[in-house]
Amino acid sequence: MNPLHSLNRIYALMMRYLYLLRGSWPRLLELTYWPTVQMILWGLINQFLAGQSAWVAQAAGILIGAVLLWDVLYRAQLGVSVVFFEEMYSRNLGQLFVSPLRPLELAAALLTVSLLRTTIGVGAAAILAIVLYHYSIFAMGLPLLAFFANLLVMGWSIGLMVVALVLRYGLGAEGLAWAVIFALAPFSGVYYPLSVLPEWLRAIALALPSSHVFEGMRAVAREHVFLLDSFWTAAALNVVYLATGLALYLVAFHTARQRGLLLQMGE
Amino acid sequence: MPSVKSAIEVRNLSKRYGQVAAVDNISFEVPKGGSCALLGGNGAGKTTTLAMLLGLLSPTSGAIRVLGVDMVRNRYAALPRMNFTSPYVDLPHRLTVEQNLDVYARLYGIRHRARQLQRLAETFDLKLLWRRHYGSLSAGQRTRVALAKALLNDPEVLLMDEPTASLDPASADTIRSWLEEYQQRTGATMLLASHNMQEVERLCDQVVMLKQGRIVGRDTPATLARKYGRETLEQAFIHIARQSMD
């Protein structure tokens, strides 16, 4: 396999998704709509609770930071799975896979487009948070990059798992793309410390990269310390998550080839 | 790469879904520069065979070689030299004709992309459609775009699944003329699955007749008709289709 040819094919698919985005204002709006609505809502809650709770008052904008980072995870996952659905909606998978495109190249394009979509969507909400609430998530400095990277990779991994399910079960499983991440929210400790969780739930929480990221985010916001252990734990878990996501995705492609699903994909 | 006489070589190919054999131990060859039709009623195994030739579907058993390449083990060596068109597989609707062809030209690694797109736009009379969304085109216009996509890489082997389905006779005739011209100019090999006997008689020098996944006849269109004591291929097709497999 020539790596240059491979990069060209990944670039070709990125162009395909960017053409789609450029030509559709509802898709562009959808990128920023939900992160912005969430940020405004949690900004108001944050303002209210800051006067009621010492815990919130101690760290200005902690809930806004939490919701913006949560959206990194959600957008990263949607960025993979929803962009893949576009191929299924347009019955284009058959055309793609009679070209020299390989499944891993498609995955690389999906992940790269997910990074762009997440940066645009959450970036716009983060800038608006500065204007509306005088809260800048960028004030976290370098740790923000570590949190962003870990949540992005976790979102990618779950996105690939959703793609695998949809490849196997068709667009009937599409609803999972929108809902699956919310099942992880209670265990991720987005808006509260993990100590709130009962002991047995904490074990589940610690197996999620996101819970370590949000603990780390609170440590930066409240104590101005970066928990290196939390970062490395999240990164190590992400290696396992991404490997699992990729493996399931490749197995799903193999199964789709066995069962003739690539030609039948559609509604 | 060693020279091979057959562009397509299928040996003892089978595809089973549980107890059902969609394709049952078929063998055939298409010589380089030849054109062959897979004929058969609905469910005869034509599309399944094409999908296996393209690497979209894994065979249960048997061997497929395209341009000398083992398509089960090494399809990526052959895919840049082949292409495919079918009205049943779409292109992205929200992309313009130009964007769709540009994306596929990049996927196939076309070196002089702009020149190739320009040439295809002229050949298939796409200039007025160039900036229109694929989804807004009529069936005939989509077929032209899909065919332009299929010829982007000047394929040595072109596979087609009912290339003129749902077209009016004049549009279908134009498409067939383009295909004839392409084959004469490049010496490409063509394999098409079709229900349209006129199309097969005009474009193909060989017919493989399938029924319930098995080959029940294989010859030139005229010889096959004579073999069954019929005047036309269509009459032979109907005769074979109505015969019991037992």
Of B79, B91, B99, the CB nearest to A95: B91
Can you give the pLDDT at residue A266? Answer: 43
Structure tokens belonging to residue B149:
């996509």
Taking the model in full, what pTM does it have?
Answer: 0.91
B192 vs B161: CA distance, rounded Å: 6
Of A8, A97, A101, the CB nearest to B56: A97
Residue B56 and residue A92: Cβ atoms within 8 Å?
Answer: no
Q: When comparing pLDDT for A60 and A97, which is higher?
A: A97
Of A11, A13, A92, the CB nearest to B90: A92
Residue B107 and residue A96: Cβ atoms within 8 Å?
Answer: yes
Q: With beta carbons under 8 A apart, name residues in chain A contacting B86.
A: 94
Chain A within 8 Å of B56 (Cβ-Cβ)?
Answer: yes
pLDDT higher than threshold 50 for residue B166: yes
Can you give the pLDDT at residue B245? Answer: 55
Domain range summary for chain B, segments of one domain joined by +: 6-242
Q: When comparing pLDDT for A3 and A151, which is higher?
A: A151
Chain A within 8 Å of B131 (Cβ-Cβ)?
Answer: no
Structure tokens belonging to residue B120:
């295809």
Summarised one tens digit per residue, pLDDT across range A169-199 is 888 888 888 888 999 999 999 999 999 999 9
B65 vs B75: CA distance, rounded Å: 9
Mean pLDDT, chain B, integer: 91
Can you give the pLDDT at residue B195? Answer: 83
CATH 3.40.50.300 fits B6-242, yes or no: yes
CB pairs under 8 A between A and B: 102
Q: Give yes or no for a contact between B228 and B237, defined as CB atoms under 8 angstroms apart.
A: no
Residue B92 and residue A86: Cβ atoms within 8 Å?
Answer: yes
Domain range summary for chain A, segments of one domain joined by +: 3-264
Average pLDDT over residues A62-78: 94
- Residues of chain A that touch chain B, judged by Cβ-Cβ distance less than 8 Å: 1, 5, 8-9, 11-13, 15-16, 19-20, 23-24, 86-87, 90-92, 94-102, 257-260, 262-263
Q: DSSP 3-state helix, strand, coil percentages of chain A (rounded to 5)?
A: 85, 0, 15
Summarised one tens digit per residue, pLDDT across range B176-220 is 999 999 999 999 999 999 888 888 999 999 999 999 999 998 999
Report the residue count for chain B: 246
Residue B58 and residue A11: Cβ atoms within 8 Å?
Answer: no
Residue of A nearest to B54 (CA): A98
Three-class SS state of B211: strand
How many helical (H) and strand (E) elements, i.e. helices and strands, does chain B have?
A: 9, 10
Band the pLDDT of B38: cuts 50, 70, 90: very high
